[in-house]
């Protein structure tokens, strides 16, 4: 059975106006990713916070996951989670993220998956990338007032 992005993204993994103190450190990008993993860990979605943080930061050092239009898709295969996890974080203030257009990023679509979820992980990343091609989708999710509103945008656009 194939998993849908809308099944993975639930209000508990959606955060609007995320503003962790770590964004004020010298490397805001790494601080933000560590804060996202810490938030997911605090909510019980991460099995090994240290491992998940190391893996998402290592992936980001290979090549920026900034994709343009104020969007990044940080992702990693990690033993730090027990099942595929999707999350959406919209920051209160945009963060420099080395995207192709040089624009700062305020929308982070995060995907963490165990190493054995590689096929599903790649399929969902491709699906998310297609969704992000729609300006109306980006504008709608950026304008969501809360987690339920953001999830509703995903459901409205479906798995196009």
Q: How many helices (H) and strands (E) does the chain have?
A: 6, 6
Instruction: Please tell me the distance from the alpha carbon of residue 73 to that of residue 128, in angstroms, as a whole number.
Output: 9
Structure tokens given for 16: 């609007």
Instruction: Please tell me the distance from the alpha carbon of residue 150 to that of residue 89, in angstroms, as a whole number.
Output: 10
Structure tokens given for 15: 């955060």
Tell me whether residue 75 is one of the annotated catalytic residues. Answer: yes
Instruction: Please tell me the distance from the alpha carbon of residue 57 to that of residue 76, in angstroms, as a whole number.
Output: 9
Name the catalytic one among 15, 16, 41, 75: 75
E strand segments, the chain: 14-18, 66-68, 71-72, 75-77, 85-95, 105-113
List active site positions. Answer: 75
């Amino acid at each position: 059975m194939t998993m849908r992005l809308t099944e993975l993204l639930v209000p508990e993994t959606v955060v609007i106006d995320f503003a962790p103190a770590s964004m004020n450190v010298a490397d805001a990008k790494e601080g933000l990713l560590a804060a996202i993993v810490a938030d997911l860990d605090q909510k019980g979605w991460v099995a090994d916070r240290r491992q998940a943080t190391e893996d998402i930061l290592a992936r980001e050092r290979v090549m920026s996951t900034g994709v343009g239009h104020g969007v990044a898709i940080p992702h990693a295969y990690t033993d730090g989670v027990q099942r595929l996890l999707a999350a959406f974080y919209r920051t209160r203030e945009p963060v420099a993220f080395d995207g192709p257009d040089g624009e700062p990023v305020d929308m982070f679509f995060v995907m963490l998956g165990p190493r054995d979820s590689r096929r599903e992980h790649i399929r969902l990343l491709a699906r998310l990338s297609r969704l992000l091609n729609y300006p109306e989708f980006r504008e709608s999710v950026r304008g969501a007032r809360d987690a339920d509103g953001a999830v509703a945008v995903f459901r409205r656009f479906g798995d196009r």
